[in-house]
Amino acid sequence: MDPSSSRPAVVIDNGSGYTKMGFAGNVEPCFIAPTVVAVNESFLNQSRGSSKGSWVAQHNAGVMADLDFFIGDEALSKSRSSSTYNLSYPIRHGQVENWDAMERFWQQCIFNYLRCDPEDHYFLLTESPLTAPESREYTGEIMFETFNVPGLYIAVNSVLALAAGYTTSKCEMTGVVVDVGDGATHIVPVADGYVIGSSIKSIPIAGKDITLFVQQLMRERGENVPPEDSFEVARKVKEMYCYTCSDIVKEFNKHDKEPGKYIKHWRGIKPKTGAPYSCDIGYERFLGPEIFFNPEIYSSDFTTPLPVVIDKCIQSAPIDTRRSLYKNIVLSGGSTMFKDFHRRLQRDLKKIVDARALSSEARINGEIKSQPVEVNVLSHPIQRFAVWFGGSVLASTPEFFTACHTKAEYEEYGASICRTNPVFKGMY
Amino acid sequence: MILLQSHSRFLFQTLLNRAQNLEKGVELDHHWVEFDDVRYHIQVSMKNPHVLLLSVSLPTPSSETIFVCGLPFGAIEAIKAAYGNLVQILDPPRDGFNLTLKINLSKLPANQEQKHAFLVKVASIREVVLGAPLRVILEHLAARTVAPDLDPLVALVHRPNESFFLFPQADKVTVVYPMRFNDSIDIVLATSFLQEFVEARRTAGLNNTPPCSWSLTPPLELKEVPAANAGFVTFVIFPRHVEGQKLDRTVWNLSTFHAYVSYHVKCSEGFMHTRMRRRVESLIQALNRAKPDVENSKKTSYNRSFKRLSLKDSRTNSFS
């Protein structure tokens, strides 16, 4: 037997905002780190041939700069403290944009964070359902060529999110995954483990937009936040204080009546001068997540609320799956973590469904009573890394190792083996 | 990152996290694997949140390495010396592991700095256990003696079923690594990396570092060693390399030399890919410039959600 299949597989879920990495069979990922690379680019900009004698030194410096980079939280703190490092975000809107940075990011994930030998482990990576086959090939190429992994499986993150709810008692592989990450929001219907590709909907509002909106609100109110830090502060405010309200007007009233109870304070230290500052956090606490339900307050380009998009998505799916899709709506991704997000979503969706049932009953004059449609939005405590957890569950089954693309296959056929995705063919 | 750190990042993070939230009882059951097949398992139960069970399994030793009760010689003493009475060795160890430690987190030193240092030490358990025989030999070197009851040739495990070799003498210790790699590209890269490595030793400013040599044939002292496809690396360690503070780092760097080379081989592959990608981009640019006229690409709002690779890109992907 292949010795690497006796070791746990490495599961890495690269999101636009955070990367979740760990070993299969565990409940939690080992590390959750921001997907960012700080590269030292000062060597690249040096004019060539300025001094011919020191080319050896320049060459050596250039080679060393290749190892002179950081990822994750270290990258953020390095770029803040010194100006020689430039931040680069390899993934945007759920798609890998900068392959150099991505390769370096994986290198550090494997050798510095997980500290494993990539030749010893099978790998499970994730991708968004809309990833082009070319980029899947590219991923396979990097994994097999650079890291010599014995086997690779690239899974669709929404299917993994559905698999996260998979237990021995209940194995429901039909449902709608509402995946709101930092860079992309996708609504993916899955029937019996098959992705219904034609009904995938995506909306241009995601976690990053909430951050930008919070930042904008705070800036407009004139809060005393240093401009170079304001994005980071807005992100922290979003993660710590934002919640979903049931009614926006009532919530404004509540805040106005009891400001002491609802208004929070943020304390920080200015990065340049080191002087402490503090600012208030008010309406943005509930207005941030509200952009999913009333997008017109944030952008004028896109004004369809999230519940309506989900409803449209289910209505476009095959008719015999719709009831079970309504019954199992699964949330995944860090931006669904706001308090009461699932309640609000369920209420709004139920309203739409009931209104439609009522109007169709009125049309046929109440002769036939239809059975009420059950709407269920599920939320679980591991929502933030549900995709990772699903991957961990999947990769700990013995079938996983047979479903992987292996190094031998790669050497025989080339990177094109990664073009087809076994998840679309259905694994369960 | 140029050198590998001696402590496991995840283990340290978990220990620190537990030590800071002692009152909060959590169920913790985590297992993971490090390079060279060192496996860890950590367990905390809800009932007893102060007690942390840490199990370690070591790479399977090859026939020439001596293991006493499943551990390298001197490991038990090294654990006792490093952790004192804060750590208890459980016998027998957890099923499938070589060693199980019971750490009582409520007895940690109150001083923040001492606590931190202790947790780093626990997280470097691998260095303590696997490096124990090496440490014994190097400590004798620092005292300019030869450890008694030792063979003239000592084999120490560093990878599953693979060992490196030491010739302890009173004034120097010679360390020989047979370098083996699985992949044919890795062998070529490792060979040239090691030649450069030996070459770099000769530059000024590195005069005090251990002398190092590389050859395809095994050194004369090693008669019946298994073949190594990327040659043999030899270091000569003098007493000045193991004085005082330097000992810890020397032990760590020597016991993970293979992992260090393999990490840098992977890094060089990544570096080459970066250069190749840049080259392809510049060639594509040159090709595009040569075209008589570029047809206007249609831009729709659909393109916003993902970047479409053109047909040309996909070709370069599959054939590069």
* Domain locations in chain A as residue ranges: 3-157+385-418, 168-204+304-378, 207-291
Q: Decide whether A3-157+385-418 matches A168-204+304-378 in CATH topology.
A: yes
The C-alpha R_g of chain A, in whole angstroms, comes to 24
Q: Are B216 and B227 in contact (CB under 8 A)?
A: no
Q: Is A231 on the interface with B (CB under 8 A)?
A: no
**Cβ contacts of residue A398 below 8 Å, gap of 6+?**
none
**Number of neighbouring beta carbons within 10 Å of residue B305:** 16
d(CA B155, CA B165): 5
Interchain contact A8–B (C-beta under 8 A): yes
pLDDT band per the 50, 70, 90 thresholds, residue B110:
confident
In this prediction the pTM is: 0.86
- Say yes or no for a CB contact (<8 Å) between A145 and B273: yes
Nearest chain B residue (CA) to A183: B305
In A119-266, alpha helices (H)? 133-141, 157-163, 207-220, 230-241, 248-257, 259-262
Q: Which class is A168-204+304-378 in CATH?
A: alpha beta
Domain formed by A207-291, architecture = Alpha-Beta Complex (3.90)
The neighbour count for residue B64, using CB atoms within 10 Å, is 16
B11 → chain A, closest CA residue: A30
A337 token code pair:
């973590």
| Chain A residues within an 8 Å CB radius of B320 | 141
Q: ipTM of the assembly? A: 0.86
Residue A117 to residue B36, Cβ atoms within 8 A: yes
Question: Is B114 part of any domain?
Answer: yes
Task: State whether residue B29 sits within 8 Å of chain A by CB.
Answer: yes
- Find, among B165, B174, B168, B167, the residue nearest to B145 by Cα: B168
pLDDT at A2 (0 to 100):
67
Strand partners, A264: A281
Interchain proximity B33–A120, CB inside 8 Å: yes
Q: Give me the mean pLDDT over the A371-396 stretch.
A: 87
How much is the average pLDDT of A137-162? 90
Chain B environment of A201 (Cβ under 8 Å) = none
Q: Is B162 on the interface with A (CB under 8 A)?
A: no
For CA atoms B191, B196, B201, B206, the dihedral sign is negative
Q: Which residue has the higher pLDDT, A222 or A12?
A: A12
- B33: CATH: 3.30.1460.20
Is position B284 within any domain? Answer: no
Give yes or no for a contact between B152 and B146, defined as CB atoms under 8 angstroms apart: no
Which residue, chain included where needed, has tokens 């009461």?
Answer: A340
Any A CB within 8 A of B35 CB: yes
CA gap B95, B39 in Å, rounded: 12
- Contact between chains at A113 and B262 (C-beta distance less than 8 A): no
Q: How far is A115 from chain B (nearest CA, A)?
A: 5
With respect to residue B37, please indicate whether it lies within any of the assigned structural domains: yes
The parent domain of residue B227 ranges over 9-268
Edge to edge, the sheet with strand B87-90 lists B28-34, B38-44, B51-57, B99-104, B87-90
All residues at 6 or more sequence positions from A152 whose CB lies less than 8 Å from its CB, including other chains: A122, A123, A124, A125, A139, A140, A143, A144, A404, A405, A418
Whether the Cβ atoms of residue A190 and residue A196 lie closer than 8 Å to each other: yes
In a domain, B292, yes or no: no
Range A401-420 average pLDDT: 87
**Residue B302 included in any domain:** no
Please spell the DSSP secondary structure of A304-329, one letter per residue. Answer: --HHHHHHHHHHTS-GGGHHHHHH-E
Residues of B within 8 A of A66 (CB-CB) are: 267, 271, 274
Q: For A81-110, what is the mean pLDDT?
A: 89
d(CA A74, CA B56): 28
Compute the distance between CA of residue A207 and CA of residue B46 in angstroms, rounded to an integer. Answer: 35
Q: According to the model, what pLDDT value does residue A210 have? A: 93
Q: Are B79 and B54 in contact (CB under 8 A)?
A: no
List of long-range contacts for A317-325, beta carbons under 8 Å, 24+ apart: A317/A189, A317/A191, A317/A196, A317/A199, A318/A191, A318/A196, A321/A174, A321/A189, A321/A191, A321/A196, A323/A373, A323/A374, A324/A174, A324/A175, A324/A191, A325/A174, A325/A175, A325/A176, A325/A189, A325/A191
Query: For residue range A245-260, what is the model confidence (pLDDT) as tens digits?
Result: 988 899 899 888 888 8
Which among A166, A194, A182 has a CA at the least distance from the CA of A234? A182
- Res B243 pLDDT > 70: yes
**Per-residue pLDDT tens digits for A289-318:** 999 999 999 988 888 999 999 999 999 999
**How far apart (Å, rounded) are the C-alpha atoms in residues A297 and B212?**
67
| Omega within 30 of 0 (cis) for the link into B92 | yes
Separation CA A348–CA A304 (nearest Å): 13
Three-class secondary structure of residue A22 per DSSP: strand
Q: For residue A281, which amino acid is it?
A: I
Number of domains forming the structure of chain B: 1
Position B291 in a domain? no
Residue B315 has pLDDT above 70, yes or no: no
| Burial A309-325, CB ≥16 within 10 A → b, else e | bbbebbeebeeebbebb
Which candidate from A63, A93, A416 shows the least CB-CB separation from B318?
Answer: A416
% of residues, chain B, pLDDT over 70: 90
pLDDT in tens, A188-238: 998 887 788 889 998 889 999 999 999 999 888 888 888 878 888 898 889
* Cβ within 8 Å, pair B270-A107: yes
Judging contacts by C-beta atoms under 8 Å, the chain B residues touching residue A28 are 30
Name the B residues in 179-238 with CB < 8 Å from any A CB.
182-183, 186
Residues 286-315 of A with CB under 8 A from B: none
Domain A3-157+385-418 fold = Nucleotidyltransferase; domain 5 (3.30.420)
Element housing A188 (H / E) = strand A185-191
Q: What is the rounded distance in angstroms from the CA atom of residue A309 to the CA atom of residue A315? A: 10
Q: Does A112 touch chain B (CB under 8 A)?
A: yes
